[in-house]
Structure 1
């Protein structure tokens, strides 16, 4: 269950932050902040559901999953070409997340 929640939380956090980015950096309507805030609220709710020994452990594991999601976003949505070691870094981060959620 933990692994299913973390990518969903990452997608919501990216969506919420992207809404703010669009408003402040690209001149989008401030109305985009409403769904952005809802997405960020959903992110926090999902992260709180992650079964973990402590909040800090859940947040640390999520950090690895978030970085991987952000790299995938950069490639898929922004057309950024991955750096040569991005794949290795992503595997290391996911391995670390798995270790953090092991108990």
Structure 2
């Protein structure tokens, strides 16, 4: 479960970075060259997501929860936006749900 969670976090960072770099290009007047690492990051995102052995729907559902937590951490530490207590509590509840889903992956349906 720990390895899967770390893989999800890496996947989320790749996805967020792949979307953030074009944002910098368009909104913050960064260079068009940012599209090259953005594309590489999105390719890494897809590649990482395919490494999971579970059914794709379970992977996407669980990944969604990890993505939310990672996006909030990105918002706080990269964008410098102060998170509210509701942000932290909400992400904790979602992450607990992800852990519950992941704990059931090894059990047959």
Q: TM-score, normalised by structure 1?
A: 0.91
Match of 1:18 among 20, 24, 27: 20
Q: What is the Cα deviation at residue 79 of structure 1?
A: 1.5
SS in 2 for 1:49: coil
CA distance in 1, matches of 2:101, 2:46: 19
Where do 1:79-94 residues align within 5 Å?
79-94=80-95
- Give per-residue Cα distances to partners, 1:12-50, cap 9 Å, x unaligned: 111111111011212211111011000011011111112
Secondary structure, aligned partner of 2:50: helix
Stretches of structure 2 lacking an aligned partner (at least 5 in a row) = none
Shift in Å, 1:94 = 0.9
- Correspondence for 1:77: 78
Could you state the TM-score of these two structures normalised by the residue count of structure 2? 0.86
Question: 2:40 aligns to what?
Answer: 38
Contact 1:10 1:69 in 2 (8 A): yes
Report the counterpart of residue 10 of structure 2 in structure 1.
Answer: 8
Q: Which runs of 4+ in 1 moved over 2 A?
A: 99-102
* Higher-Rg member (1/2): 2
